Amino acid sequence: MIENKESVFVRELSASLRKQGFHVRTEVSNMGQSADLVATRGRWVTIIEAKLGDWKRAIAQCRAHEHIADYICIALGSVSVSDRLRDTASELGYGVIHYNRSVKRFDWVLRPKLNRAVWRPQRKYWANMVRKQNYGN
Amino acid sequence: MAIEHWMMFGTFAEQRHFVYPDRTTYQGTILNGNMVAHAPDGLAAFLLEKTAGLSYIIDPMTHAFQHHPRFVSDSDGKPKSSIQALAEQYGSLLTDIVGKRPLVPRDLRDSVALNDLVKNCLAFQSEKLSQVMASRDAMKYLDNANVQLKPAALVAPYFYMTETSYRDWLPICVNAAQQARKLFPTSRLFTSVVVNQGLLLNDDALESVSTQLSGLDVDGYLLWIDNLDEQRAGSSVLNQVLMLSRALRKNKSRPVINLHGGYFSILAAGALGDEAFSGVTHGPEFGEFRSVIPVGGGIPIARYYLPQLHARVRYRDMVRILGATGWRESAAIFHSNVCDCLECKETINGNIQNFLEFGRGNVRGVRRSGGMVRIEYPTAEAKMHCLRHYLQRKRIEYQFAATASKEQLLENLQNGFKQLEEVVGLDGVSHLQLWQDVLNPVAHA
């Protein structure tokens, strides 16, 4: 199968996160959606929606992750990060990661805030479900 | 005043829902003619043994033959077996063309051809199921007085009309209903009015359809507006639907059953809509609006019917709404603010964490352009919880719309708007305001 640009982007982001000590799973289901990346370190769960351009769609997808993730981020592969995205993410407490093409590096534009809207029963149910899945990555 | 509560029969897997919450909930069921032609034994058993004599009307589905054959064909390009079986019931005109070309008005301008179709179509409705039912062993054990062997009404052949096609199809529909009356003079006879939203917004077209069909010597109507999602429809369309239905009703002297309707239609059938419909039909789950030309599904997701919005809400959105409103603090708070139906009480069982049961899923891999993704599909149990809660709420809605005062009905809509505007946004609640404006225009004049 030919990989599209977004899946290559997700793969590179996964590698970068693993180097930072995260345990990374990709395409993890959550309440009828599929999260691009779930990065865990210790007991903390970070969900990342990766997009090459359409950050508004990423924001919409992140809403469901608020029930289960301690931190929520958007990773963007576009040339630049707009002020509007920065403001929206800041308001929602989401982090923003940008891929710097010139140096081939992922940079933090905005660090995420701890999400306090987690619904513990949903988180527990989701975590059990993820454990049962055979995530090859 | 009672509002007739009809439910559309979809699949045999849904049979048990026709006696839920109880056997008295539904006035009757609408059966698609192609299913009757294809599986008369199963449907006879359903009507006799599963529901012990539920009233029924057979939708003759004659419009299925006017669409391009690909819409009624299977993946091999052959007509679906149920459509082929229906064509065989209706005679050579349809068996000659089914799967090859669409039926066009010209085919039915010949009065002999139309007469044959009408005769076969009505005989099929009158006899097909009743004969099978009469021959079943179960008849020995049932009280004959309570068993409805014949359909509650026969439906004349009908065709889907748009603002561009009504000039050709309307005379056919009128002739078909007139022929049906001549051939079956003593039968309770309905005709179906199936139109698109464009026709409703075209004054000349609506006037023609309304005048000619309301002038027919028939006992009632089935009404189906193509793909009319009441929660997204504008006021112009909703107002025109009411206008058409009231014209057909002739001062409430004749029944008009909306074949696919939600809470707006239920309200319209009650005091708030001055009984614009006599009854409203919905499916066990996905039947509050439907396209005349069938379209494919999508990935199923769990949806919880939120009584305040009178809408089915995705489970993940429901969890967010419950969090934002504080309604998931405890089971008691949930029941007093959201729903205290039997299904919710049994499922939540005193512990709000059990709301999860409405959203449980199994993960399966789905191939997408970027590779495999894992998507959570609702479990059979989660779907059942959502469905039973939905059916409980529907019964409550029909009873409420039929018995509450106008003030109570309006207050209910206003409360939903106020409670949830800041949680789901104006777009998520604006239908509640629009329904008030349409159904109670004086208050907003």
Query: Tens digits of per-residue pLDDT, B50-67?
Result: 887 789 999 999 999 999
**B314 contact A CB<8A:** yes
Reported confidence tier of residue A137, pLDDT bands at 50, 70, 90: low
Distance, in Å, from the CA atom of B306 to the CA atom of B263, rounded to the nearest integer, reads 12
Residue A134: the pLDDT is 62
Interface check B301 vs A, CB under 8 A: yes
Interface contact flag, A29 B316, Cβ < 8 Å: no
Taking the Cβ of residue B321 and every Cβ of chain A, the question of whether any pair is shorter than 8 Å is answered with: no
Q: Does B7 touch chain A (CB under 8 A)?
A: no
CB contact under 8 A, A33 and B316: yes
Distance, in Å, from the CA atom of B189 to the CA atom of B219, rounded to the nearest integer, reads 5
d(CA A4, CA B221): 53
For chain B, give every domain's residue range. Answer: 4-282, 303-403
Nearest by CB to residue B363, choosing from A67, A119, A129, is A129
Report the alpha-carbon distance of residue B143 to residue B281 in Å, rounded.
27
- Which residue in the set A28, A33, A63 is minimally distant from B320, CB to CB? A63
Give SS3 for A3.
Answer: coil
Residues on chain A bordering chain B, Cβ-to-Cβ distance under 8 angstroms: 1, 3-4, 6-7, 27-34, 63-64, 66-67, 117, 119, 121-122, 125, 129, 133
Contacting residues of B for A28, CB less than 8 Å apart: 374
pLDDT tens-digit readout, A23-63: 999 989 898 888 999 999 999 999 999 999 888 999 999 99
Cα–Cα dist A52/A26, whole Å? 16
Residue A2's pLDDT band, with cuts at 50, 70 and 90, is very low
**Of B299, B328, B359, which is closest to A31 when you measure between CB atoms?**
B359
Q: Do A32 and B370 touch (CB under 8 A)?
A: no
Q: Which residue ranges make up each domain of chain A?
A: 5-132
Q: Can you give the pLDDT of all 445 residues of chain B as single tens digits? A: 799 999 999 899 989 999 999 989 999 999 999 999 999 999 999 998 888 778 999 999 999 999 999 998 888 889 999 999 999 999 999 999 999 999 999 999 989 999 999 999 999 999 999 999 998 877 777 766 667 899 999 999 999 999 999 999 999 999 999 999 999 999 999 999 999 999 999 999 999 999 999 999 999 999 999 999 999 999 999 999 999 999 999 999 999 999 999 999 999 999 999 999 999 999 987 689 999 987 666 677 889 999 999 999 999 999 999 999 999 999 999 999 999 999 999 999 999 999 999 999 998 877 776 667 778 889 999 999 999 999 999 999 999 999 999 999 999 999 999 999 999 999 999 999 999 999 997 654 4
The dihedral region occupied by A79, where left means phi > 0, alpha psi between -120 and 50, and beta the remainder, is alpha
Interface touch A121/B353, C-beta < 8 Å: yes
Alpha helices (H) along B144-297? 166-183, 197-200, 203-214, 235-249, 263-269
Q: Is any Cβ of chain A less than 8 angstroms from the Cβ of B386?
A: no
| Max Cα distance, chain A (Å) | 43
Check CB contact under 8 Å for A3 and B302.
no
- Produce one character per residue of A20-31: b if its CB has 16 or more CB atoms within 10 Å, e if not: eebebbbbbbbb
**CA of A26, closest CA in chain B: separation in Å?**
9
Chain A nearest CA to B3, separation (Å): 36
Give the E-state strand segments of B35-167 in sequence order. 55-59, 154-155
Across the range A67-89, mean pLDDT stands at 93
Q: Which of A29, A68, A126 to mutate to test the interface with B (most CBs of B within 10 A)?
A: A29
- Most B CBs within 10 A among A119, A120, A123, A135, hence the mutation to make, goes to A119
Query: Which residue in A7, A29, A119 is closest to B323 by CB distance?
Result: A119
For residue B51, the model assigns a pLDDT of 85
ipTM (interface pTM) = 0.85
Distances (CA, A) of A96 to A14, A26, A69, B103: 15, 18, 15, 58
pLDDT in tens, B131-169: 999 988 777 777 666 678 999 999 999 999 999 999 999
For B6, counting Cβ atoms within 10 Å of its Cβ (0-12 exposed, 13-18 middle, 19+ buried), the class is buried
What's the confidence (pLDDT) of residue A1?
43
The DSSP bridge pattern shows strands A44-51 and B311-314 to be unpaired
CA angle B291, B297, B303 (to 5 degrees): 100
Cβ–Cβ gap A3/B374 under 8 Å = no
pLDDT of B277-331, one tens digit each? 999 999 987 689 999 987 666 677 889 999 999 999 999 999 999 999 999 999 9
The answer to whether A72 and A60 are in contact (CB under 8 A) is no
- Candidates 2.50.20, 2.10.25, 1.10.10, 3.20.20; correct CATH number of B4-282? 3.20.20
Q: Do A122 and B356 touch (CB under 8 A)?
A: yes
Choose which CATH entry (3.40.50.1820, 3.40.50.2300, 3.60.130.10, 3.40.1350.10) describes domain A5-132.
3.40.1350.10
Report pTM: 0.92
Chain A neighbors of B328, CB-CB under 8 A: 119
**pLDDT of amino acid B297:** 60
Tokens 């949680």 correspond to what residue?
A: B423
Q: Which residue of A has its CA nearest to B358?
A: A31
Please give the mean pLDDT across all residues of chain B: 93
